[in-house]
């Protein structure tokens, strides 16, 4: 059983993995071809986390590959369909990050509507004394919030917002029977009826640009977009354009198209809060994610099964 690490692992996982095993590391081109020639037949399990992930070509090159163990809940960097076709099982790290990511969403909602990051810049630049009070901002309490993707993380966000007397609506592909929240039949319908649209759906081809120009326009000049899911879900070019012309009130983003590059056109806006994809990045949660990834790895090595398959 030979383990292959693809990409750079989180320090928490790197530490746990190397304490127990001596994995191989997939090199970049041009060394990759030679590496695969020497090791491909031995590799049975991949450990990875986020980008670059595992595509069908890499699976094809590893004839004995049986499992892909991913650090992270989202497996959009892995070609899961190709894995399924080849009988390769895939695990992720669900649930252990729900609370932390939901906390991040709340932080972004507050920061975006109340303008705390911009106000902090205002104070630091000496503008309070020079220019007077900071402009009025928007209340979170009592606002109407739409959650796109009421899964485990979306539900944790909704639970928190209930404490702020928010009117919560959601859109999923299917209505959730018995949900206490109002269902909107489409992303446009959801966006048109809320002050804040929170993107909490899984990434990947199925949700690509689910938040397109129409959805953003439906959110409108008084509306805010918050994204803690994946950059791929949002048409980022349309988002930037509408923010620049004042047809959206603001945005709070943890994720982007083309991470870690964040376009200057976003960075120059004061009504936008930008985080470096840190939704789950607390020491406790990242350690729990690493521990769960390791449990999946050990289980696969001993029984051929996974603890949390996708
Ligand atoms: C991680 C995430 O930062 O779990 C996810 O899907 O986006 C984050 O928690 C990422 O997966 C680590 O590579």
Query: pLDDT digit string (tens) for 12-62?
Result: 999 999 999 999 999 999 999 999 999 999 999 999 998 899 999 999 999
Catalytic residue, from 259, 295, 298, 299: name it: 259
CB 203 within 8 A of CB 74: yes
- The tokens for 116 are 């705390």
Ligand 1 pocket test: pick from 49, 253, 279, 310 the residue with the most ligand atoms within 8 Å of its Cβ.
279
Query: pLDDT digit string (tens) for 224-277?
Result: 999 999 999 999 999 999 999 999 999 999 999 999 999 999 999 999 999 999
Euclidean distance between CA atoms 25 and 180, whole angstroms: 47
Pick the CATH number of 2-94+283-303 from 3.90.1300.10, 3.40.50.720, 2.60.120.1130, 3.40.50.2300: 3.40.50.720
CB-ligand 1 contact for 256 (6 Å cutoff): no
Ligand 1 pocket test: pick from 50, 91, 151, 276 the residue with the most ligand atoms within 8 Å of its Cβ.
50
- Residue boundaries of the structural domains of the chain: 2-94+283-303, 98-274
| CA proximity to 209, closest of 246, 239, 189 | 239
Please give the class, per CATH, of domain 98-274.
alpha beta
Q: How far does residue 281's CA lie from ligand 1's centre (Å)?
A: 8
């Amino acid at each position: 059983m030979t383990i292959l690490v693809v990409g750079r692992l989180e320090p928490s996982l790197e530490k746990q993995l190397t304490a127990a095993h001596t994995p191989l590391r997939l090199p970049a081109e041009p060394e990759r071809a030679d590496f695969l020639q020497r090791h491909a037949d031995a590799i049975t399990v991949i450990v990875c986390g986020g980008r670059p992930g595992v595509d069908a070509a890499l699976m094809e090159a590893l004839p004995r590959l049986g499992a892909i163990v991913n650090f992270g809940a989202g497996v959009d960097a892995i070609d899961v369909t190709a894995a399924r076709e080849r009988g390769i099982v895939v695990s992720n790290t669900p649930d252990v990050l729900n609370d932390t990511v939901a906390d991040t969403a709340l932080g972004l909602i507050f920061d975006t509507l109340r303008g705390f990051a911009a106000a902090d810049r205002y104070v630091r630049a000496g503008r309070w004394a020079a220019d007077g009070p900071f402009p009025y901002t928007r209340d979170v309490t009592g606002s109407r919030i739409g959650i796109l993707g009421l899964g485990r993380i979306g539900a944790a966000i909704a639970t928190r917002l209930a404490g702020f007397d928010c009117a919560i609506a959601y859109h999923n592909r299917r209505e959730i029977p018995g949900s206490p929240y109002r269902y909107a039949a489409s992303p446009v319908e959801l966006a048109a009826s809320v002050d804040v649209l929170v993107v909490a759906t899984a990434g990947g081809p199925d949700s690509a640009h689910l938040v397109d120009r129409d959805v953003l326009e439906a959110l409108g000049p008084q509306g805010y977009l918050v994204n803690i899911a994946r950059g791929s879900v949002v048409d980022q070019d349309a988002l930037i354009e509408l923010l620049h012309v004042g047809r959206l009130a603001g945005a709070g983003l943890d994720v982007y198209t083309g991470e870690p590059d964040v376009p200057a056109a976003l960075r120059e806006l004061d009504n936008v809060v930008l985080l470096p994809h840190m939704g789950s990045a607390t020491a406790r949660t990242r350690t729990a994610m690493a521990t769960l990834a390791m449990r999946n790895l050990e289980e696969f090595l001993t029984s051929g099964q996974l603890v949390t398959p996708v």
